């Protein structure tokens, strides 16, 4: 095998491959990246057996072939080389020679036969349906921070995705908060049962996709497949029964508060400085036209701030984890925020104002 490729192009893709590869592999082949050169295309593949990655980049292929090399060292070598074209050649000793065209330096890496590399899962092309990259990335952004990190509740360690007759929805919850978004579904979208998607592939999609044009999705009982630009990613799904999230969504709430997103965001940054670091508890007190935010860190001090709001009703005091408000604020794009609640010990709903196709539910904390 012998091919020539531009450094900047191959470094970008090998960097992605390294992120896919697990650092705790029992099998050495899983620490390797697969290189397949043919017809002036270099195919790069990586997997940790749960997530698979494949990409295609242009190359001048002089001798076709395939091999695998230790990804971490391969990436380190590539990054150390000057910009420009690099020649890659597998020699008789089963080593991959790496030589930049404009510098007298040679690296050689031991190879493992490509025959030992695990087969990546594939699916027929007609099983894919398309969705806007921008819309899908926004769905991920609106939900992924609410995923549970409690491994005992593994069925909540991902984002639930479901298609019904009129919409595609995503939901995530850790039992103390819930994030929900639904978008209008394409009539040509393939039907599938609800699935639980691990965060690793969702983070990869957000990071790698350009946000322009469409991406293609396909779903089987145990795997999700994603294609965009020149890349393909697949992931094993989380098995288990996702909680009945509809039971958590309030049918109606008595009080509505409208306030400026920037005002509460800046106030939270200040007041949270003196919140207990373990509980992250702050207190919200709503009164006519005013929201008071207060925190107290034992033996250190307290913070207290008032901001104006559009509220009319009884004085109500809530205790909340301030991160459960700050996380949604980072992804709410509108200028105004709508808070809905009924009592101090019942769910609080966060929405944009005017209302959009997403919302976030927060369970208050105890008042002590």
Classify burial at 245, counting beta carbons within 10 Å of its beta carbon; exposed 0-12, middle 13-18, buried 19 or more: middle
Q: How far apart are the C-alpha atoms of 259 and 240, rounded to whole Å?
A: 39
pLDDT at 166 over 90: no
pLDDT at 46 over 80: yes
The alpha helices in 81-194, defined as continuous H runs, are 133-143
Report pLDDT digits (tens) over 197-240.
999 999 999 999 888 899 999 999 999 999 998 899 999 999 99
Q: How far apart are the C-alpha atoms of 173 and 180, rounded to whole Å?
A: 9
- Average pLDDT over the chain reads 93
Average pLDDT of span 277-285: 95
Q: How far apart are the C-alpha atoms of 41 and 201, rounded to whole Å?
A: 25
User: CA dihedral defined by 339, 343, 348, 352, rounded to 10 degrees?
Assistant: -20
The CB density around residue 164, as the number of other CB atoms within 10 Å, is 11
Q: How far apart are the C-alpha atoms of 42 and 23, rounded to whole Å?
A: 25
pLDDT at 25 over 80: no
Report pLDDT digits (tens) over 325-365.
999 999 999 999 999 999 989 999 999 999 999 999 999 99
List, in order of start, the domains of the chain with CATH numbers. 2-116 (3.10.150.10), 125-246 (3.10.150.10), 250-362 (3.10.150.10)
User: Six-digit token pair at 367?
Assistant: 């008042």
pLDDT of res. 211: 86
Q: How far apart are the C-alpha atoms of 177 and 315, rounded to whole Å?
A: 24
Q: How far apart are the C-alpha atoms of 93 and 75, rounded to whole Å?
A: 21
pLDDT at 24 over 70: no
Report pLDDT digits (tens) over 125-136.
999 999 999 999
Report pLDDT digits (tens) over 61-118.
999 999 999 999 999 999 999 999 999 999 888 899 999 988 899 999 999 999 999 9
**Residue 165: which pLDDT band, with cuts at 50, 70 and 90?**
confident
pLDDT at 188 over 80: no
Query: Is 322 within 8 Å of 271 (Cβ atoms)?
Result: yes
Q: How far apart are the C-alpha atoms of 161 and 296, rounded to whole Å?
A: 39
Average pLDDT of span 163-176: 92
pLDDT of res. 82: 94
């Amino acid at each position: 095998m012998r091919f020539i490729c531009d450094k900047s192009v191959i470094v970008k893709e090998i960097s992605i491959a390294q992120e896919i590869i697990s650092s705790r592999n029992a099998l050495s082949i899983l620490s390797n990246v697969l290189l397949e050169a043919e017809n002036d295309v270099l195919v790069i593949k990586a997997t940790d057996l749960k997530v698979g990655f494949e990409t295609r980049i242009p190359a001048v292929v002089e001798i076709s072939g395939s091999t695998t090399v230790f990804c971490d060292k391969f990436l380190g070598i590539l990054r150390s080389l000057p910009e420009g074209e690099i020649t890659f050649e597998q020699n008789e000793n089963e080593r991959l020679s790496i030589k930049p065209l404009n510098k007298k330096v040679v690296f050689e890496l031991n190879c493992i036969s490509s025959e030992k590399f695990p087969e990546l899962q594939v699916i027929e092309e007609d099983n894919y349906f398309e969705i806007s990259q921008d819309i899908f990335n926004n769905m991920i952004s609106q939900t992924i921070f609410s995923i549970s990190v409690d491994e005992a509740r593994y069925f909540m360690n991902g984002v639930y995705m479901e298609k019904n007759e009129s919409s595609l929805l995503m939901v995530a919850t850790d039992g103390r908060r819930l994030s929900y978004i639904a978008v209008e579904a394409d009539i040509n979208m393939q039907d599938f049962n609800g699935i639980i998607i691990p965060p690793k592939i969702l983070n990869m999609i957000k990071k790698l996709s350009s946000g322009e044009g469409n991406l293609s999705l396909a779903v089987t009982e145990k795997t999700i497949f994603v294609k965009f630009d020149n890349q393909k990613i697949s992931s094993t799904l989380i098995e288990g029964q996702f909680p009945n999230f509809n039971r958590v969504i309030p049918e109606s709430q008595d009080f509505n508060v409208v306030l400026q997103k920037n005002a509460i965001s800046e106030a939270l940054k200040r007041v949270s400085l003196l919140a207990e670091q373990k509980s992250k508890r702050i207190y919200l007190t709503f009164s006519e036209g005013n929201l008071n935010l207060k925190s107290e860190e034992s033996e250190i001090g307290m913070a207290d701030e008032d901001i104006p709001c559009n509220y009319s009703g009884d004085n109500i005091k809530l205790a909340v984890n301030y991160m459960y408000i700050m996380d949604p604020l980072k992804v709410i794009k509108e200028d105004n925020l709508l808070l809905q609640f009924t009592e101090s010990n019942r769910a609080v709903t966060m929405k944009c104002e005017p209302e959009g196709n997403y919302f976030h539910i927060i369970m208050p904390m105890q008042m002590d």
